[in-house]
Structure 1
Amino acid sequence: MSRLLVFARRYPLVAATVLVGLLGLALGIFGQADAVRWLFSGFGIVAALVSSVGMVRQLVRGSFGVDLLAIIAIVATILVGEYVATLLIVLMLSGGAALEDYAAGRAARELDALLKRAPQIAHRLDPDSGEATDVPATEVRVGDLLLVRPSEIVPVDGQLQSDTAAFDESSLTGESLPVERSVGDPVLSGSINGQIAATLMATATAANSQYQHIIALVEEASSSKAPVVRLADRYAVPFTVGALTLAGLAWALSNDPVRFAEVLVVATPCPLLLAAPVAFMGGMSRAARNGIIVKGAGVLEALSRAKTVVFDKTGTLTYGTPAISEVRPEAGFSADELLTLAASAEQYSSHVLAASVLGAAHERGLALHTADSASEAATFGVEARFAPGTVRVGKLSFINDGAADATATHLAGGELAMYVAVDGRFAGSIVASDRVRDNARQSVADLARLGVRENLMLTGDARATALHVAGQVGIVHVRADCLPSDKVDAVRALTRRPVIMVGDGVNDAPVLAVADVGIAMGAKGSTAASESADVVILLDDISRTVRAVRIGQDTVRVALQSIWLGIALSVVLMVIAAFGLIPATAGAISQEVVDLITILNALRAIGGRRDAVRARRASVGGASAPLETSERADRPVLPTVDRPV
């Protein structure tokens, strides 16, 4: 019952139409034909007036929809006494709008998650006693000393007062590795402190800090986004003009006004009102089965026409977490021996890279040593004493204090090295990097085959790292060192539209909102990015971006086929009705048959059979098998930086 009440409140015209229909049926059973006629006709007038208000508002905004023809048909059937046809037209008009609203999912709230995640509490330190007092982040003033505990979000922009600290800025800048700061360095609000408590001095209020700046960017981007034009509305003007012209000719040539109503009844644009919403609902259902949440019918249409795709780097094209990519032993140590010693020492470290070293050791099945003693120099390294000797793991400068022969190892873009010394002797290095996703290159190529041939990477990471990743995945255009506002400006400047933006972090929220279609990698990405996006991929799989585009193209193709099928059948019926061969009530029933055919065809957008066929082909060809297409992928091109696109 509660669901029925919710439905009635959300779609009052649909609920009222069904209620009036049931009441009319009851009156008809008791032989009250006149009462039924007055009930249906009066309700039709009210429905026409309500729809007229919405139609006028659309016209004021410069949009011409299919509602006009339906309103004229309602009035015409009332005037000629075909009140059953009146109710059927109202039901199709209100039901189509309800379906479209349901498919559009208009309840998306881009800013909610950002506001919820925004730091709410700050620990303000008393300069005399050093005691921390919890205060709302909005009450922090410039110059206040703040304590940021381990794993807490930095509440406002500040300047580090502690000697050293490490912060996770991946959701703000895209840098996947922890950023180490020294005393006096700036710290951004929204970044996450490491495992050591840090003290900072506020340099901005909450309202003027980086995180709030991102919120403002999202709000501005969302409000500036152009409204989506309904697919059916593009055919509204010619269909309406054609139907009114044919109905007018039928009236003029026959001198019978009933002929005008008869033509308009079969010309009621129910195929236009129903075909696209039903197809888009099917497409959205199909997307959900594939782990893709699409927030609106217009999103599927934009996906089908996309020409450009923009990628964030960290967490999107890459996995977003540092992993051990290579062990480089020195001085007679084997790779397993070096990794065993390093992992044994890193057991006693709180650094984020310690988990990567331990994970690599566990993957190789290495047995770790228990330390007699261990100590950590925060953000520099750890030293532990074992039976095999004293092991130091950390930065090169930390290792050089005890092993002067330690030398820097060669690093490629996006790599970071940890150095190891044993009993004052350089033992080697361990290289960590944020690995490119296994199917990232194939996904970029598949998007090109689907028509999304222009690509661009936007990242806050360093240029060398960005170029290295772009070369691995086949992306042509690269812009590095980007702030959130830079990404917004870059996407707005793109000319080949619609533009898809794929990202996952808080820093991607504004650009996801301003893109024609924002796609958030929601499996491990931020809630802010997911709420700002038009599409959320629930699985940690970038190839779902390709699947989303394919589903959009399939859905629009089925919707257009259904629209044209409905129009063709309606035109045939209109011509027959123009000669007086179809009475209005029979025309309304005939129109229902057309609607049924249109709906059944539109339901093909659910696409269960197509997905099953593709799943079987993928199981034979492998998970990263290319798209089934005769079109060859473009030849790989070396990436460029800051090339106009």
Structure 2
Amino acid sequence: MALNRVSFQKAVRTYPVVASTVVVLAAVLMLWGAGAAGPAQWIASLYTLGIVAVTGVGMVRDIKRGHYGLDILAVIAMLATVAVGEYLASLIIVLMLSGGEALEDYAAGRAKGELDALLDRAPQIAHRLPDDADTGGTPKPGRELAEDIPATEVCVGETLLIKPSEVVPVDGVLLSAAASFDESSLTGESIPVARTAGEAVMSGSVNGTQAVRIRATATTADSQYQRIVALVRDAAASRAPVVRLADRFAIPFTLVSLLIAGIAWAVSGDPVRFAEVLVLATPCPLLIAAPVAFMGGMSRSARHGIIVKGGATLEQLATARTAAFDKTGTLTYGRPELVSVNAQPGFSAEELLGLAASAEQYSSHVLAASVLAAAEERGLPVSPADTAQEVATNGVEALIHGQTVRVGKRRFIEEVDPSAGSVDLSPGQMVVYLSVDGRFAGSLILSDTARPNAAATLDRLRSLGIRDTVMLTGDGQVTANSIAAAVGISDVHAELLPEDKVNAVAALELRPVIMVGDGVNDAPVLAAADVGIAMGARGSTAASESADAVIVADDISKVATAMDISKRTLRVALGSIWLGIALSLVLMLVAAFGFIPAVAGALTQELVDLATILNALRALHGKTLFRRADKPATVASAPIPGSV
């Protein structure tokens, strides 16, 4: 009982106009039933005129700003019913309009269930183990000495206990021998993922049936799940396309409704006909259908591991005509394998790789991670640098053991030694150049392969309406051309700086333009495109924040899934609007001949609202594309090939 009373009080506070209208309507009905029709009419009419005055103030402000909304029609309908003495109908219209907000909130709550689930599952508590706790193997009952602390207090390097079926509070590395985690809320993959000791564990994933230990590699603020939560909050707050879609129909619908009502009055000579028609022209279907559909589309996207930041993104995605892609980490795995080391005279292959790794540890580029991994696999030491500086889009310069080492693109090395020669590459290969103390020292050849489902994804995008596919990359022309040929892209722009990518996107003619990328260097072009899609929230924070949508899983096929969902969402939103308009027009024409009294018309319009909302909720469901995630092939480590 107490809970129901609290819920009722909350509802009254949230929707005061609905509550007051219900009270006034009840009082009017009691007076009317007692034979006091006069007082009942006065109370209803004065209350309705008060609502008209409040609504009218906002309407006038909007008109002064050049915004002609659907509230014009609602105000005219309320005034008309008061003027002809249909006071019960006027109260029902007020209740319908004020209740529309509550109805929209309820429907939107249903639609954004997946978004709310992500927010509600945000971990609050972490079980911290003491520094001297045994961190090996699987914990045994009775041995846990964990201290419960707020998840926000976890520090990098601390050991945490994750109990069975618990949500991982922060990103970490698995210390136990093996474990299984459910990552479906993050990636959309329903099959649990097996992890072994030393592998990364994402915050927000759910532990399996056995307690395990992890070492925190990030705080909650910097962890995967909190990034997603922040994106979801932005998405839930976005309402941009709702206004645009409603406004497209506002003036035509208002004019047609007034025309039908005016003709009915003129032909019949009865002003009541005017009110009876306008009662059925109230704009709730137009105002409610679009937000519910778009929220449903965003929720469905989240279910498949795609965080869309707003309904406007869905609308742009649905009508996109060009798709541009970065190469490394997007069309390819972004984890190149070392093929060979080409050392110049005076340097050995091991020395060259060790110097490259020592410098690359200060770089955020994906090739840097590959160079470091190659050195680690071969047991080569990585030395700290006295100074290090990353030159964006070019490479790294570091002072290591008194030697100035440059690692990066050919033009970066040619700045200190113009004799740095080009290297012949096979398809899919890329090169990293090195100089030591201003002298060209050699190069590292790495190979990165196209994702096996990249070509199929591009084909699917074309079937969804994409007319142009483009590659924008900072890599060399030969490497870019080989990957482009493998995935079916003919328009290739290589050796681009970040500003070049922005200019290239701006020059594309078929719009809207989708840009898909994953790295720090992609952040500017993701922000500049009509729709920026970041691959993997676990990647660059800058890219994720600049993008309009983030694909949590490392799966390029989700780009096609996102576009498919957006197209269905827009179809459902527009279909719901047209359904509301069609039903309203038919009913208005019937009312124009005097067959629907004002009160009955006001109640019938509620059924129209219900029909459009139920139709809009269809955006939550639909056929799913590309069920299989893109799984990278494992490549066995190999010794360093001999120098050339």
TM-score in terms of structure 1 length: 0.58
Match of 2:17 in 1: 17
Match of 1:539 in 2: 553
Do 2:502 and 2:528's aligned partners in 1 also have CA atoms closer than 8 Å?
Answer: yes
Aligned to 2:324, what secondary structure does the other structure show? strand
Distance in structure 2 (CA, Å) of the matches to 1:584 and 1:443: 54
Given the alignment of the two structures, is residue 67 of structure 1 paired with residue 81 of structure 2, yes or no? no
- 1:28 Cα offset (Å): 5.5
Distance in structure 2 (CA, Å) of the matches to 1:431 and 1:381: 23
Given the alignment of the two structures, is residue 610 of structure 1 paired with residue 610 of structure 2, yes or no? no
Given the alignment of the two structures, is residue 46 of structure 1 paired with residue 53 of structure 2, yes or no? yes
Q: 1:174-209: CA deviations, max 9, x gaps?
A: xxxxxxxxxxxxxxxxxxxxxxxxxxxxxxxxxxxx
2:296 corresponds, among 253, 264, 282, to 282
Of all paired residues, the percent bearing the same amino acid is 50
Distance in structure 1 (CA, Å) of the matches to 2:264 and 2:360: 82
Do 1:14 and 1:94's aligned partners in 2 also have CA atoms closer than 8 Å?
Answer: no
Distance in structure 1 (CA, Å) of the matches to 2:13 and 2:263: 33
Do 2:242 and 2:291's aligned partners in 1 also have CA atoms closer than 8 Å?
Answer: no
Distance in structure 1 (CA, Å) of the matches to 2:310 and 2:384: 55
* Counterparts in 2 of 1:380 and 1:558: CA distance versus 1, 3 Å: closer
Do 1:92 and 1:270's aligned partners in 2 also have CA atoms closer than 8 Å?
Answer: no
Q: 1:465-495: CA deviations, max 9, x gaps?
A: 3323322222221223333333333222222
Given the alignment of the two structures, is residue 90 of structure 1 paired with residue 97 of structure 2, yes or no? yes
Distance in structure 2 (CA, Å) of the matches to 1:501 and 1:429: 31
Q: How many residues align?
A: 445
Match of 2:480 in 1: 466
Given the alignment of the two structures, is residue 311 of structure 1 paired with residue 325 of structure 2, yes or no? yes
Distance in structure 1 (CA, Å) of the matches to 2:324 and 2:467: 11
Q: CA RMSD in A?
A: 4.7
Given the alignment of the two structures, is residue 324 of structure 1 paired with residue 337 of structure 2, yes or no? yes
What letter matches 2:431 in structure 1? Answer: L
- 1:244 Cα offset (Å): 0.9
Do 1:484 and 1:507's aligned partners in 2 also have CA atoms closer than 8 Å?
Answer: yes
Match of 2:505 in 1: 491
Distance in structure 2 (CA, Å) of the matches to 1:409 and 1:329: 9
Distance in structure 2 (CA, Å) of the matches to 1:487 and 1:53: 45
1:507 corresponds, among 512, 515, 521, to 521
Distance in structure 2 (CA, Å) of the matches to 1:305 and 1:249: 39
1:260 corresponds, among 274, 293, 306, to 274
Greater alpha carbon shift after TM alignment, 25-34 vs 341-350 = 341-350
- 1:329 Cα offset (Å): 12
- 1:360 Cα offset (Å): 6.6
* Counterparts in 2 of 1:350 and 1:85: CA distance versus 1, 3 Å: same
Greater alpha carbon shift after TM alignment, 23-32 vs 262-271 = 23-32
- 1:458 Cα offset (Å): 2.0
- 1:580 Cα offset (Å): 1.7
Q: 1:29-57: CA deviations, max 9, x gaps?
A: 87594685156414421343144135414
Given the alignment of the two structures, is residue 79 of structure 1 paired with residue 83 of structure 2, yes or no? yes
Q: 1:250-279: CA deviations, max 9, x gaps?
A: 111222222111101111122222222221
Distance in structure 1 (CA, Å) of the matches to 2:477 and 2:285: 52
Do 1:267 and 1:570's aligned partners in 2 also have CA atoms closer than 8 Å?
Answer: yes
Distance in structure 2 (CA, Å) of the matches to 1:490 and 1:229: 31
Higher relative contact order, chain-length normalized (CA < 8 Å, sep 6+): 1
Match of 1:570 in 2: 584
Match of 1:640 in 2: none
- 1:418 Cα offset (Å): 10
What letter matches 1:41 in structure 2? Answer: T
Distance in structure 1 (CA, Å) of the matches to 2:310 and 2:576: 19
What letter matches 1:600 in structure 2? Answer: L
* Counterparts in 2 of 1:40 and 1:414: CA distance versus 1, 3 Å: farther
Given the alignment of the two structures, is residue 302 of structure 1 paired with residue 316 of structure 2, yes or no? yes
Do 1:44 and 1:86's aligned partners in 2 also have CA atoms closer than 8 Å?
Answer: no
Distance in structure 1 (CA, Å) of the matches to 2:497 and 2:620: 40
Distance in structure 1 (CA, Å) of the matches to 2:608 and 2:517: 43
TM-score in terms of structure 2 length: 0.58
* Counterparts in 2 of 1:99 and 1:508: CA distance versus 1, 3 Å: farther
* Counterparts in 2 of 1:348 and 1:454: CA distance versus 1, 3 Å: closer
Aligned to 2:244, what secondary structure does the other structure show? coil
Aligned to 2:570, what secondary structure does the other structure show? helix
